[in-house]
A = this chain, B = another copy of it.
Amino acid sequence: MANFTIGKLAKQTGLGVETLRYYERRGLIEPQSRTGSGYRLYDDDAGRRLRFIRRAQSLGFSLDQVAELLSLSDRPEKSAAEVKQLAREKIADIESRIHDLERMKSALSVLEDQCPGHAGTTAECPILAALNRQNQEPVAGENG
């Protein structure tokens, strides 16, 4: 129930005041209340919510997608089936991201292990190789 002004919240999260207002316009976060003069007041959840937003972004989710993720837990008890469905879709999305990252990681591990001595044949680019035996569909769309 501790109430922060926007400046305090900004300092706490390392974000800019303008960024917080921008997130509000985008529907990602809202002040718990306002003072009589219109100052935004935030509670402790705001900081957590912002941390979530940044983390999700760094994982390649757009702000619209982050909003969708957040809306899942914001929805009170309405439309349980809809929430369940959306959650399932997001889980599938996340699983495929994890899968891709794991392929990328093992490619890099090969590189790491291989590098130190073996100066010789150029080893046929393990990083490209590792990510390609699978999924031969076109690759235009950014996020699945």
Contacts and interface: CB of A to CB of B under 8 A. Distances in A.
Given A52-B132, A142-B58, A98 B101 contact: yes
Q: State the copy count for this chain.
A: 2
Interface string A87-120: 1101100110110111011001101100111111
Contacts of A111: 72-73, 83, 87
Interface residues of A, number: 66
B131 A52 contact: yes
A56 B60 CA distance: 9
Interface in A29-67: 45, 48-52, 54-60
A76 B131 contact: no
Contacts of A139: 13-15, 50-51, 54-55
A135 B94 CA distance: 20
Given A128-B45, A139-B14, A105 B100 contact: no
Nearest to A96: B58
A6 interface: no
A23 to B, nearest CB: 13
Enumerate the 4 nearest inter-chain pairs by beta-carbon distance, A residue then B residue, closest first: A14-B140, A14-B138, A60-B60, A77-B119
